[in-house]
């Protein structure tokens, strides 16, 4: 099973990238690819630039990486209650390839921030629009006060109830990937 872990932030030391990659690692049988949004930097989207430049290779690579994954773990950083500009720009460019950017992949949506809200606003917005972006969200979780609840030395959540909730979310994702794999195999056998 291939899991693509994405922190929706271009911070070099992104706590959301850390959380997404940690969540993916909870499924030991999975192979995990973690994306760094800095590898997908593009000019700020505009219709004129899209006409001049076409779709940049970074957006095509992002779309392809999603297409090659069995499941997605996305963790959203919150800037002023919403997406980071880096994520939104990448998403907007990629949506010009196909508005179903997430290609009907099963996904766990997460968010975290250093504050007690755990970036819950951006997570709510992302969940609201998941249908339009082609994400099949199986479970979601906001992790508040990241520094208090995540032990960076051990690379794991130190808060046991959040740890259990995250594990349950990842197990649901695993079950869904197995279920849809079996379904595809049954269709092929017909
Ligand atoms: C411009 C800006 C706006 C921010 N707005 C919010 C916010 O609305 N809610 C929040 O919880 N944290 C906010 N923060 C703090 C971020 O949650 C914090 O920088 C966090 O580390 C971002 O996640 P990342 O490390 O994955 O990039 C903001 C930070 C910046 C720089």
Pocket test residue of 10, 119, 120 for ligand 1, highest count of atoms within 8 A of CB: 119
Q: Write the burial class of residue 48 (CB in 10 Å: 0-12 exposed, 13-18 middle, 19+ buried).
A: exposed
Q: Hey, whose CA ends up nearest to atom 18 of ligand 1? A: 113
Q: What tens digit of pLDDT does each residue of 166-179 get?
A: 999 999 999 999 99
Provide the residue range defining the domain that includes 88.
Answer: 2-189
For 62, left (φ over 0), alpha (ψ -120 to 50), or beta? alpha
Q: What tens digit of pLDDT does each residue of 20-32 get?
A: 999 999 998 889 9
> Which SS3 state, helix, strand or coil, does residue 44 take?
coil
* Number of folded domains that form the chain: 1
The minimum-distance atom of ligand 1 relative to the CA of 16 is 26
Query: 188 CA distance to ligand 1 centroid (A)?
Result: 46
Residue 51: CATH number of its domain: 3.40.50.360
Q: What tens digit of pLDDT does each residue of 68-110 get?
A: 999 999 999 999 999 999 999 999 999 999 999 999 999 999 9
Crossing angle of helices 160-189 and 15-25, in 10° steps, is 60
């Amino acid at each position: 099973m291939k899991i693509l872990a994405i922190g929706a932030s271009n911070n070099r030391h992104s706590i959301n990238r850390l959380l997404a990659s940690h969540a993916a690692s909870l499924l030991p049988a999975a192979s995990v690819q973690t994306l760094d949004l800095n590898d997908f930097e593009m000019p700020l989207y505009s219709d004129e630039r899209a006409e001049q430049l076409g779709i940049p290779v970074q957006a095509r690579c992002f779309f392809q990486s999603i297409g090659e994954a069995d499941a997605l773990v996305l963790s959203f950083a919150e800037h002023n209650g919403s997406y980071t500009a880096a994520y939104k720009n990448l998403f907007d460019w990629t949506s010009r390839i196909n508005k179903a950017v997430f290609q009907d992949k099963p996904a766990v949506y997460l968010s975290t921030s250093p504050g007690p809200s755990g970036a819950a606003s951006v997570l709510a917005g992302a969940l609201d629009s998941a249908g339009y972006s082609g994400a099949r969200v199986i479970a979601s979780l906001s992790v508040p006060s990241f520094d208090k609840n995540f032990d960076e030395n051990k690379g794991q959540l130190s808060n046991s109830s959040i740890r259990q909730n995250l594990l349950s979310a990842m197990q649901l994702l695993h079950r869904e990937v197995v279920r849809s794999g079996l379904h595809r195999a049954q269709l092929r056998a017909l």
